[in-house]
Amino acid sequence: MIKIGELSKVTGCSVQTIRHYEKEQLIASAERSEGNFRLYDEVAVEQLLFIKHCRSLDLSLPEIRQLLGLSRSPGAQCGDVNRMMDRHIEQVEARIQELTKLNEQLRMLRRSCSNRRTVEQCGILRNLSATPVSSV
């Protein structure tokens, strides 16, 4: 059993994040020591590393909660997991398209000015003032 500070070091999750995940019931509530310190076991380490990996893939807490729930039914078919991942891939692809459009707009703005101009002559500031850039 380890205290929350050690769990934080082992997993790379901040103490605040660990408390938040516990509050969100993504990890089991910690046992308490006689001194009322939170104590965690190896299962908590594994759960936090799983959650951290999911977060690195930009999965939301509800998606992670769903995956954790599904992982408790090892004999079930993984169709639900695949469908959730397919939805997430679609969301990521939509965001990539939005960011590509944003990148193009920013590059267009940047091309509207050179370093030899004064702020008064700045094409970027003029374009930002004259025409709103369409939202992403």
92-112 pLDDT tens trace: 999 999 999 999 999 999 998
In the predicted model, what is the mean pLDDT of the chain?
Answer: 89
- Residue 44 pLDDT > 70, yes or no? yes
> What's the Cα-to-Cα distance from 49 to each of 5, 45, 55, 78, 129, rounded to whole Å?
15, 6, 10, 21, 47
pTM: 0.74
Q: Give the tokens for residue 14.
A: 């901040």
pLDDT score for 121 = 85
Q: How many CB atoms lie within 10 A of CB 48?
A: 23
- Taking alpha carbons only, the member of 44, 49, 82 closest to residue 63 is 82
